Amino acid sequence: METHQASGIVDSPPSSPVRIPIKSDLDAGVGVPTRGVRVPTGSNMISIGVSGSPAPPLSTSARSLEAFTARLGRSKEELAKAAQGMEVLNQSLTDTQKEADEAKVDRERMQYALDMEKLRSLCRKEERDIANERIVEMEKEVQSLRGCWNQWSGWRGRLKFYLFSSNK
């Protein structure tokens, strides 16, 4: 049995091992086993011993597995960071929604206060208009009373004149 150190490949007689092709990045899975095929040096193949033959060194696949595990670990870390980022983003979105709701309530309160002030202003204007109308009516009454007073004063003066002139 001959081992090629550079590729981790073991050449053995065609009847004992089963040869399984494996991709170096391990993301495509395991290929179809073949029996009795000689593997050229430098290809991406490993030999697994069958029926009691010693297992060959798996340095290439072990390094590939370690690399894959390292990438998987980094992926898990990145996924955890992304999950934390999503949590922060979700909290920020919730806070922003609360602030938007509070701002909406504040705007509604301000609009209500402005509407009430407009109503008060209209009421004051209406009250002023009513007061002005009442003043105009009272001035008319005063003028009417002045007219009556003037008329009464005139009659009184004439009455005095007649009363005092007839006494003489």
What is the structure's pLDDT at 59? Answer: 63
- The mean per-residue pLDDT over the stretch 2-13 comes to 49
Tens digits of per-residue pLDDT, 125-157? 999 999 999 999 999 999 988 888 888 877 877
Question: Taking Cα atoms as reference points, which of 26, 28, 24 lies closest to residue 44?
Answer: 24
What is the structure's pLDDT at 153? Answer: 79
Tens digits of per-residue pLDDT, 52-108? 555 555 566 777 778 888 888 888 888 888 899 999 999 999 999 999 999 999 999
What is the structure's pLDDT at 155? Answer: 80
- Chain-centroid distance of CA 78 in Å reads 23
- As a 3-state breakdown, the chain gives helix, strand, coil percent values, each rounded to 5, of 65, 10, 25
Tens digits of per-residue pLDDT, 13-57? 555 455 555 544 344 444 444 444 444 455 455 555 444 555 555
Burial annotation 82-93 (CB, 10 A radius, 16+ → b, else e)? eeeeeeeeeeee
- The mean per-residue pLDDT over the stretch 162-167 comes to 72
pTM of the model: 0.35
What is the structure's pLDDT at 121? Answer: 92
